[in-house]
Amino acid sequence: MASDQGARVTAAVLIIGDEILSGRTQDTNLRDIARYLGVHGVDVAEVRIVPDVIDEIATALNHLRGRYDYVVTTGGIGPTHDDITADAVAFAFGVELYEHPDILKMMQAKYELTPARRRMARIPTGGGLVQNPVNGPPGFTIGNVFVLAGVPQIMRGMLEDVGHRLKGGAVTVSRTVRVLGSGEGVIAAPLEAVAKAHPGMSLGSYPFFSPESFGSNLVLRGRDPDEVEATVGELIAALQAAGIANVAEVEG
């Protein structure tokens, strides 16, 4: 149900880390990045999660940066031996790493420059910095790639230095209609009819079940706020005409 591809500005998210793949850590960065980019008119179109292996990171990065307008990576930029994202990004771009003098200076002002900490001063030749308002050294950017920390608080802080660099498209507007007490089996037909009448929009059904209630959240997305507004009304009317009584718009 993708809408007008011409108007779309897209991003991929590349999440780096064995601890996400193992299920030990629950990723929340994707959600924060997708919402943040959405506000800037950039849609996340694909996500990959890869292990702490240079070849895996570089291969995924080269594919994604060629296919989408932007790539945001998270994780692997700390000082320990398993932090190899800078190495992988430099390898992917075919450039060398160097110690950025501003980062060295900033770190020297705060702590002793151990060899491990010096690792965090390395960025690929041709790259620029992404400020870290939270704690520790900055992230970096090269080409259409933004390389951010994996720790959620720091990642969110770094994102604030990303938005103003994006050339976003039209912002996607999202509205939610909730059906209570009816399953997707009866929702599907009226929903599909309304979706077909609005090929430029995306209409999805996301069912929920709990001991107390069941139903589905119907999410309407589009770039024309007037069309989205009108479609909410059409969908509610179509559901009611199909005999579904408990239906109302809710906060998305």
Instruction: For Cα atoms 63, 130, 34, give the angle at the middle one, nearest 5 degrees.
Output: 55
* Least separation in angstroms between CB 34 and a copy of itself: 3
Q: Indicate whether 171 belongs to the interface with a copy of itself (CB under 8 A).
A: no
Q: Name residues contacting a copy of itself, limited to 229-248 (CB under 8 A).
A: none
Q: Which residue has the tokens 């939270």?
A: 134
Question: Total residues at the site for a copy of itself (CB under 8 A)?
Answer: 75
Pick the closer one to a copy of itself by CB: 12 or 145.
Answer: 12
DSSP 70-123: EEEEES--SSSTT--HHHHHHHHHT--EEE-HHHHHHHHHHS---HHHHHTTEE
Continuous segment of H or E residues that includes residue 154: helix 152-159
Pick the closer one to a copy of itself by CB: 94 or 99.
Answer: 99
Pick the closer one to a copy of itself by CB: 125 or 246.
Answer: 246
Binding-residue pattern over the window 24 to 53 for a copy of itself, x denoting contact by CB under 8 A? xxxxx-xxxxxx--x----xxxxxxxxxxx
Q: Name residues contacting a copy of itself, limited to 60-79 (CB under 8 A).
A: 78-79
Q: Which residue has the tokens 């292996």?
A: 53
Q: What are phi and psi of 38, to 5 degrees?
A: -55, -45
Integer angstrom CA distances of residue 35 from 106, 182, 219, 239: 31, 29, 15, 29
Residues contacting residue 173 through CB under 8 Å, at least 6 positions apart: 221, 222, 223, 224, 225, 228
Pick the closer one to a copy of itself by CB: 59 or 144.
Answer: 59
* Least separation in angstroms between CB 126 and a copy of itself: 27
Q: Name residues contacting a copy of itself, limited to 129-148 (CB under 8 A).
A: 134-135
Among 126, 199, 204, 233, binds a copy of itself (CB under 8 A): 204
Q: Indicate whether 181 belongs to the interface with a copy of itself (CB under 8 A).
A: no
Q: Indicate whether 174 belongs to the interface with a copy of itself (CB under 8 A).
A: yes
